[in-house]
Amino acid sequence: MNEKDTEKGGGGARSKTDVSWITDIFNKRVCTTFVEDTFSNGRLCQCGYARDTHHSVALGDCFSAAIVSHWDSAQHSSEQPTDAFGELEFAGAGKRHSYFLRLSSSTNPSGVFEILKGHWKLKQPNLVVSVVGGEGKKKIKGWVRDLLRKGLVKAAQSTGAWIITGGLKEGIGRCVGEAVRDHVSTYSVSLNKVVLIGIAPWGLVQNRQQLVKPEGSFPAKYYVTNTSRETCILDNNYKAFLLVDDGTVGRRGGEVNFRVRLEDFISRQRPGSATIDIPVLCMLISGEAAMLEGLDASLKTAMPWLVLAGSGGLADFVTDIVENVQSASMPPAGGAEKEDGTANMDLKERLAEKLKKHFPAVNETDKLVDKVLSIYQNKDLIFIYHAEQEGADDFDTVLLKTLVQASKHRVAVSTNPYADELRLAVTWNRVDIAKSELFNGNIQWKYEDLEDCMTDALENNKPQFIRLFIENGLNILDYLTYGRLEKLYKSISENCLAHSLLKNFLSVRLNESSTDQQNNVSLYEVSQLLENLLGDVCLPFYTSVFKLGTNSSKRTFLKKTSKVLKENCSYRGDACNHPWLCLFIWAVLQNRSEMAVYFWEMCGESVLTALGGCKLLRELSKLEIETETKISMKDLALKFEYMANDVFSMCYQTKACRSFKLLIRKSQMWGNATCLKMAMGADARLFFSHDGVQSLLSQIWWGEMDRGTEVWKVILTLLIPPICFTNIINFRKLDSVEEEKSALPLHPTSETDCHYSETVFSLADIKNLSEFEQEDSNIIRYPTKGTNFAAFHKKKQPFWVSRWKQFWYAPVTSFLGNVVMYFLFLFLYAYVLLVDFKPPPPDGPAASEYVLYFWMFTLVCEEIREIFIVGTKTIGQRLMLYTQDVWNKFDVLAISLFIAGLFCRMFSWSFNVGRGILCIDYMVFTLRLIQIFAIHRQLGPKIIILGKMMKDAFFFLFFLAVWLCAYGVANQALLYTYDASPSRVFRRVLYRPYLHIFGQIPVEEIDTGKSWNRHCTDNLTLVNEGQEPCRDTSHNWLVVVLLVIFLLVTNILLVNLLIATFSYTFSKVQERSDTYWKSQRYNLIVEYHSRPTLAPPFIILSHINLFIKRNFRKVPSTKIHHFALDLKGKEANQLVKWENLQKESFLAVEYKKQRGTDTERLKQITAKMDGVLKKVAEIRDVDRRLRTLESDMEFCTSSLLWIMESLSQSSVVKPSKVHPSRKAVISASLEK
């Protein structure tokens, strides 16, 4: 029944098979018995149809017609498959199509509700307002129209309501349609935001035959020639029409019973995860006495009614009997029935008087009085609305209170009288109503009252309510259990990317394990999804829930999970360890911006949490297919990156040393992740460009050496190591570290660090030297307050040992040593190729070439160490991580070419091939220098720009290759009719056109009009033997034209396109080149911090040392974690508290900025104006009351004067004094 599957293009008709289910379910009604209408002289049936339109069977049943005096729809009509349904196009209206369906008055409401939601795709309503009122030519008052436009329609839009009316362009239905039209045009709201549904009698619709088509109309053209108010035409402002057929024509009221049943059915539906049924409210505006039957039937189903007092007609009548008619007190139990009957008779008489007063022209009042009495007995469900007292702006609040009061009568016992009102406010997403009416401090809320509403707010993305509940007593620690967290993940929308990813992991679990376990999403799938998105940045989530260690294999994890899920799943009752973080991740996976930001505000470790959200969103955006969702994910990720950067700025400005701890502290909440590692995984270049991050990296880079040390001094010390014991290089002393925490450097910084001025601490200051081998220690620590530095060095080392380590263990020393030795390696390589490249054995290789081979062997050993020794991951994961770096691919290529060239040069038959490979390999090794200079402040950004331009050049080469092939083949074919030499053809097709671009154009060869001093032949035999063929002169003009076009396109269009592309890339990257460079600088520092101190070829000594440590001494490596500080206990808590304080300061600043924006100022002005308008309305009400009181006083005064005059003229009373005059009373009061 999918609408998209059944549609045909361009508004054409659908086939009957596509919608055959509609005719199987829905029917129309046809008169089966002709009952003569005595007022038509036998021409019409009481159903309204003419005699000629009836079937022969209906006309032939004379006996039934003779004994029947009143036609009844249920007895004298039968059902047949409907013949009018589909889409409706109002001719000349120019608006969207509407839906319509002709159905029997006895149709089951469940099928109708399903077609409204499923087939017609109407959004699930949060409220249904059924408007009943004036019909026909009766004029609706102006203030009623304003109320519908400003009150009802606005409330319907804000609450997501359906509005049900008669759907005809008359009376109250026309007013509601016009109110929706005006609201949409005024506030630029989509028509889909306000759903109007019309329920009208089929026999009353004008030109209904245009809708009849047994196979359905898609669309039906609805033409109306007469648009006067006397006609009953469909209103083009409605979204859907239910045309109820009771077998009559031209009669009103045939749809009433069906409408009552449909409203009652909708009121018992509970959509999805909602905490309440769909509220339905009937609204009475004006109306006629004939509507009493429908009002009574609706009240008997306990449907609440809101009556608009003062709108006239039936509404005023109901208002009168509800407010002014008082029933007699009921007799006590066991009282006389006579007294009860007398009381009822008295009440009926008073109701009959009211009915005669309001409807003097109505006949058969006895029957209507019984209906009125029944209505009066259900007056608890009737609520009177005085618009002139309450105003149209608060109409949504009135609807809320009316439904709440009605629910109190429908529900016998309620734990909290305000709970239903809160559920309605959450369902409508009206946090303003909840704040003003429910959370104003007068109501004491309990946890039980807020629990279900909190779940509703979470699942339906209502962050303002979540904030409201938390502020008013809901404890998140008690609320969020692992079981409830699983339910939240199950509630993720099917359209969300996270839902499909979780389903994929669920299918894997079900396929690899037995089928007798739960097939719902569990925390296992969530853990796998987070591990897939976060990678090796942190340890897996939720492993402790299944009582597993963080190093458990996936197979073990799966087996344990399957075993737990088969059992009672006792973990679901446990509270989450970090509830705000769990909710933050849940919101981020769904790309819920406002909710995720609020959860971030409530989380601890705000910098790391923001970077974690950035990481998750950027990984999700790579998997997202929808462009709009992908863009929103990237925007939210950038927002979190800015938030992390701003909070860290607050921390750095407050206290730098603590902010450095923040960057390298391992977080228990995020699985031992650090801010630096998370930022690197999230590609947070903006965060890395922060001065605080770069200052820490610079301190680590220089180690114990002063950051102002010139590079030439370090290189000189590398060449002559004993210089390190002199004062040519300044080292920092442990004794002065406490003084240097807040001091500025005495020397200017180097060119790579010239923008960082504050020196806080060095690498050795924050390292925990728990092992004597400092080269293996990279777990950065910093002594707490009151800790003596001597405690870190339990064994006093000699000066020459400590100074030697201070110099050689600095990453900058390792880097410069590798640079110097790499230049020597290239020099040796060039020397071998150019001077000392001997023939194959036994004459060669030379001794220098053997040195080169050994050097290359040490490079290979270092690459093997980097892949297989460093880290705790599996070999496959290490290889994948290794190949992600472009420069590692360069290394593999260079080593592979060297091995291939070495193998080929050892044999005479492949000696020249090997030499060529080695020459190419030398180019690859030389290009490897680019990565070395990435650390330089000026060259680093240029390298990034160069890499971006290389990508642009590939697109240019593609277009160039297309033109080269096109022009080269055509030029060769036109100049030479036949050429059997493939090498010659290849040069002339590709190589020669390429040279044309640079101005090398052989005019004598191309232009046959010029002489060509070259021997050629037309003999095919000689041409096949390899001689030069002669040119073909028949197409000389075309060859010249093609040359001109080729040069025009390549030299002007394509080359200038390449220049423009390069210029754009340069200007775009140059703006952020510093940011890109700082991010890459981190990778380089990490790489050289983890490398052995010695450079190739001496690095083999470090490798031997490491081999002995790992395999014989069993010393574990600590370099698998870069820059990690493990804080616990009081120090960790103090750091988290301090970070939260800085976050609060940041939020206060942001709130202040937001308050100062034009939008917020406009909102404040609007709120003040609303307050002023309310005050003005109150003043008007007081003025109206004073005027009424003044008129009453005047009436009383005149009445008293009349009594006084009458008494004074009467002889009954003999007054002793003359009655006081008005003038005397006023003068007496003035004297007082």
Read off the pLDDT of each residue in 392-407 and give the average, rounded to a whole number: 71
User: d(Cα 248, Cα 76) in Å, to the nearest integer?
Assistant: 11
User: d(Cα 417, Cα 401) in Å, to the nearest integer?
Assistant: 12
Read off the pLDDT of each residue in 690-712 and give the average, rounded to a whole number: 88
* Cβ atoms 136, 144 nearer than 8 A: no
Q: Is the pLDDT of residue 987 over 50?
A: yes
Q: What local confidence, expressed as pLDDT, does residue 873 receive?
A: 63
Q: Show the CA angle centred on residue 858, arms to residues 854 and 864, nearest 5°.
A: 140
* Cβ atoms 1032, 977 nearer than 8 A: yes
- Mean pLDDT value across the chain: 80
Residue whose pair of structure tokens reads 């690459």 in the numeric block:
863
Q: Is the pLDDT of residue 1045 over 50?
A: yes
For the stretch 442-497, pLDDT in tens is: 788 888 888 888 998 999 899 999 999 998 888 899 999 999 999 999 999 888 99
Most confident option among 247-256, 401-410, 750-759, 1107-1116: 247-256
User: d(Cα 89, Cα 974) in Å, to the nearest integer?
Assistant: 63
Task: Name the token pair of 659.
Answer: 């902010």
Helices (H) and strands (E) in the chain, counts: 54, 12
Q: What local confidence, expressed as pLDDT, does residue 855 receive?
A: 95
* Cβ atoms 605, 646 nearer than 8 A: no
User: In this structure, what DSSP letter does residue 264 have?
Assistant: H
Q: Is the pLDDT of residue 619 over 90?
A: yes
Q: Is the pLDDT of residue 825 over 90?
A: yes
For the stretch 719-749, pLDDT in tens is: 888 888 888 888 876 434 433 333 333 333 3
In percent, the amount of the chain with pLDDT more than 70 equals 82
Read off the pLDDT of each residue in 96-111 and give the average, rounded to a whole number: 89
* Cβ atoms 1079, 685 nearer than 8 A: yes
Q: What local confidence, expressed as pLDDT, does residue 98 receive?
A: 87
User: d(Cα 164, Cα 159) in Å, to the nearest integer?
Assistant: 15
Read off the pLDDT of each residue in 918-925 and give the average, rounded to a whole number: 95
SS3 sequence, 25-36? HCEEEEECCCCE
1086 or 965: which leads in pLDDT: 965
Q: What local confidence, expressed as pLDDT, does residue 886 receive?
A: 83
Read off the pLDDT of each residue in 940-951 and give the average, rounded to a whole number: 82
Task: Name the token pair of 1124.
Answer: 């990690």
329 or 847: which leads in pLDDT: 847
578 or 93: which leads in pLDDT: 578
Pairing of strands 127-133, 161-165: parallel
Q: What local confidence, expressed as pLDDT, does residue 763 receive?
A: 42
Question: Which segment of 240-254, 324-338, 563-577, 1051-1065 scores lowest on mean pLDDT?
Answer: 324-338
Convert 841-880 to b/e letters by CB count within 10 Å (16 or more is b).
eeeebeebbeebeebbebbebbeebbbeeebeeeeeebee
Read off the pLDDT of each residue in 553-557 and give the average, rounded to a whole number: 70
Pairing of strands 85-90, 280-285: unpaired
Residues 6+ apart with CB under 8 A from 511: none
Question: Which segment of 600-614, 656-670, 793-807, 818-832 scores lowest on mean pLDDT?
Answer: 793-807
* Cβ atoms 543, 554 nearer than 8 A: no
Which of 62, 2, 51, 54 is CA-nearest to residue 30?
Answer: 54
557 or 243: which leads in pLDDT: 243
Residues 6+ apart with CB under 8 A from 642: 686
User: d(Cα 1098, Cα 1102) in Å, to the nearest integer?
Assistant: 8
Q: Is the pLDDT of residue 860 over 90?
A: yes
Read off the pLDDT of each residue in 140-144 and give the average, rounded to a whole number: 81
User: In this structure, what DSSP letter does residue 936 have?
Assistant: S
Which of 521, 496, 493 is CA-nearest to residue 507?
Answer: 521
Q: What local confidence, expressed as pLDDT, does residue 791 receive?
A: 40
Convert 382-408 to b/e letters by CB count within 10 Å (16 or more is b).
bbbbebeeebbebbbbbbbbbbbbbbe
Strand order in the sheet with 127-133: 217-222, 85-90, 98-104, 240-245, 195-201, 161-165, 127-133, 280-285, 305-308, 382-385
Task: Name the token pair of 302.
Answer: 């306990």
* Cβ atoms 1043, 1001 nearer than 8 A: yes
User: d(Cα 324, Cα 338) in Å, to the nearest integer?
Assistant: 25
Q: What local confidence, expressed as pLDDT, does residue 133 receive?
A: 85
What type of residue is 775? E
SS3 sequence, 88-150? EEECCCCCCCEEEEEEECCCCHHHHHHHHHHHCCCCCCCEEEEEEECCCCCCCCHHHHHHHHH
Residues 6+ apart with CB under 8 A from 1041: none
Q: 88: which strand partners?
A: 98, 220
Quickly state the pLDDT bin for 1021 (edges 50, 70, 90). confident
User: d(Cα 492, Cα 1232) in Å, to the nearest integer?
Assistant: 79
Task: Name the token pair of 715.
Answer: 């290189």
Q: Max Cα separation, the chain?
A: 162
User: d(Cα 1105, Cα 1112) in Å, to the nearest integer?
Assistant: 10
Which of 490, 458, 503, 486 is CA-nearest to residue 572?
Answer: 486
Read off the pLDDT of each residue in 1190-1213 and give the average, rounded to a whole number: 80
Read off the pLDDT of each residue in 988-1017 and give the average, rounded to a whole number: 79
User: d(Cα 538, Cα 550) in Å, to the nearest integer?
Assistant: 10
Q: 285: which strand partners?
A: 133
Q: What local confidence, expressed as pLDDT, does residue 1178 receive?
A: 76
Count of alpha carbons within 13 angstroms of residue 382, beta-carbon side: 26
Number of C-beta neighbours around residue 778 at 10 A? 20
Q: Is the pLDDT of residue 93 over 80?
A: no
Residues 6+ apart with CB under 8 A from 402: 281, 304, 306, 383, 385
The secondary element (H helix, E strand) that includes residue 198 is strand 195-201
SS3 sequence, 530-588? HHHHHHHHCCCCCCHHHCCCCCCCHHHHHHHHHHHHHCCCHHHHCECCCHHHHHHHHHH
User: d(Cα 1201, Cα 1219) in Å, to the nearest integer?
Assistant: 10
Read off the pLDDT of each residue in 346-360 and give the average, rounded to a whole number: 84
Q: Is the pLDDT of residue 599 over 90?
A: yes
Q: What local confidence, expressed as pLDDT, does residue 573 receive?
A: 86
pTM exceeds 0.85, yes or no: no
Convert 752-761 to b/e letters by CB count within 10 Å (16 or more is b).
bbeebeebbb
Q: What local confidence, expressed as pLDDT, does residue 1080 receive?
A: 79
Q: Is the pLDDT of residue 97 over 90?
A: no
Quickly state the pLDDT bin for 136 (edges 50, 70, 90). low
Q: What local confidence, expressed as pLDDT, does residue 5 receive?
A: 39
Question: Cα-atom radius of gyration of the chain, to the nearest Å?
Answer: 45
Please, is 1071 exposed, middle or buried when counting C-beta atoms within 10 Å of its C-beta (0-12, 13-18, 19+)?
Answer: exposed
951 or 18: which leads in pLDDT: 951
Taking each helix axis as running N to C, give the angle between helix 419-428 and helix 447-459, from 0 to 180 degrees, rounded to the nearest 10: 10
For the stretch 194-221, pLDDT in tens is: 789 999 999 888 888 888 888 888 888 8
Most confident option among 52-56, 152-156, 289-293, 1136-1140: 1136-1140
User: d(Cα 558, Cα 505) in Å, to the nearest integer?
Assistant: 11
Q: Is the pLDDT of residue 640 over 90?
A: yes
248 or 1002: which leads in pLDDT: 248
Quickly state the pLDDT bin for 8 (edges 50, 70, 90). very low
Read off the pLDDT of each residue in 1182-1200 and give the average, rounded to a whole number: 84
